[in-house]
């Protein structure tokens, strides 16, 4: 087992997420979502499902000393990692479906790659609208459809071929909202009548195919706990061939992974 694989096996899910998933997938989106939300100096900002704080910290850099940013997440392990990064930000435990804030508390509300996992997505969007001040703006990002992210689409098909629907469907879960019509329905039900939905291009980049597969196996929200060591070894061997088209000359693995971004202004 290599050094990176050992780290994934011995660290908490939150630490694995922050060390491997954030640079590979999520770091790039902080600026994008901040731009879509129109975050500016002096704003009060809420980041819903903040995880380890990638978007939260990007927002804090925008608002400066005159603004205030709160990161909210139900996972205490995630918040513990976030608090080590920037103690000046208010890190708060809570659920998106029941935001612990008064009406009209924030100028901007943002969330990236969390809506797919909420128990009640309509309620969560309604809550984001509730705590937004009149004239404020929200921006919420979800993963686009799986077939728009070719490397992950290949991996999903490989998982299904090797281990069946249960494992493959667990891996597909983050892509469940990659449908504009579905998002439009959710927005309408939540009261976001004039919401915009646009695609933004992003990318995935891991140091190797083995690193990608090992990190996905360690993710408790998808493959965590579903594969035994023998199955993992088989997956690693097969993935080297299946994902080879996405390998670079330097040994990295890279492919596009777009997002769909909901934006809405509160009247």
Asked if residue 116 lies in contact with residue 48, where contact means CB atoms within 8 angstroms, the answer is no
**In the predicted model, is pLDDT for residue 221 greater than 80?**
no
pLDDT number for residue 87 = 82
Phi first, then psi: what are they for 200, rounded to 5°? -130, 135
Domains parsed from the chain with CATH numbers: 3-265 (3.40.50.150)
170: Cβ contacts below 8 Å, ≥ 6 apart: 222, 223, 226
Q: Is 165 helix (H, G, I), strand (E, B) or coil?
A: helix
Asked if residue 207 lies in contact with residue 252, where contact means CB atoms within 8 angstroms, the answer is yes
pLDDT number for residue 57 = 97
Phi-psi region of 206 (alpha: psi -120 to 50; beta: other; left: phi over 0): beta
Q: What percent of the chain has pLDDT over 90?
A: 84
* Burial grade of 261 (CB within 10 A; 0-12, 13-18, 19 or more): buried
More confident residue, 153 or 2: 153
Asked if residue 42 lies in contact with residue 65, where contact means CB atoms within 8 angstroms, the answer is no
**In the predicted model, is pLDDT for residue 256 greater than 60?**
yes
Q: What own/partner pairs with CB < 8 Å and gap ≥ 24 does 84-89 have?
A: 85/52, 85/53, 85/57, 86/53, 86/56, 86/57, 86/60, 88/60, 89/53, 89/56, 89/57, 89/60
Lowest mean pLDDT among 2-6, 43-47, 181-185: 2-6
CA 33 to chain centre: 12
What is the pTM (predicted TM-score) of this model?
0.93
Q: Is 93 helix (H, G, I), strand (E, B) or coil?
A: strand
Tokens of 259: 């997002």
The CA distance from 178 to 153, in Å, is: 13
Considering just the CA atoms, what is the radius of gyration of the chain in Å? 19
Condensed to tens digits (0 to 9), the pLDDT of residues 96-121 reads 999 999 999 999 999 999 999 999 99
**Would you place residue 193 in the very low, low, confident or very high pLDDT band (cuts 50, 70, 90)?**
confident
Condensed to tens digits (0 to 9), the pLDDT of residues 137-158 reads 999 999 999 999 999 999 999 9
pLDDT number for residue 136 = 98
**In the predicted model, is pLDDT for residue 253 greater than 90?**
yes
Average pLDDT over every residue of 202-228: 88
pLDDT number for residue 1 = 46
């Amino acid at each position: 087992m290599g050094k990176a694989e050992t780290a994934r096996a011995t660290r908490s899910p939150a630490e694995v997420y922050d060390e491997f998933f954030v640079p590979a997938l999520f770091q790039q989106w902080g600026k994008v979502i901040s731009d879509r939300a129109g975050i500016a100096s002096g704003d009060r900002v809420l980041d819903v499902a903040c995880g380890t704080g990638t978007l939260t910290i990007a927002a804090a850099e925008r608002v400066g000393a005159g603004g205030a940013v709160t990161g909210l997440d139900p996972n205490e392990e995630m918040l513990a990692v976030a608090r080590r990064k920037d103690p000046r930000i208010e890190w708060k435990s809570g659920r998106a479906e029941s935001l612990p804030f008064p009406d009209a508390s924030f100028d901007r509300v943002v969330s990236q790659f969390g809506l797919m996992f909420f128990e009640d997505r309509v309620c969560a969007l309604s809550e984001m609208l509730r705590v937004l001040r009149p004239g404020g703006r929200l921006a919420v990002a979800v993963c686009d459809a799986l077939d728009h992210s070719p490397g992950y689409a290949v991996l999903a098909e490989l998982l299904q071929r090797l281990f069946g629907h249960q494992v493959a469907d667990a891996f597909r879960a983050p892509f469940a909202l990659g449908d504009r019509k579905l998002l439009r329905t959710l927005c309408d039900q939540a009261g976001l009548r004039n919401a915009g939905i646009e695609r933004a291009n992003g990318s995935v980049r891991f140091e190797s195919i083995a690193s990608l597969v090992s990190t996905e196996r360690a993710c408790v929200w998808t493959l965590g706990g579903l594969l035994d060591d023998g199955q993992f070894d088989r997956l690693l061997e097969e993935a080297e061939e299946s994902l080879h088209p996405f390998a670079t000359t330097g040994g990295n693995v890279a492919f596009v992974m777009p997002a769909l971004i909901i934006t809405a202004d509160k009247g």
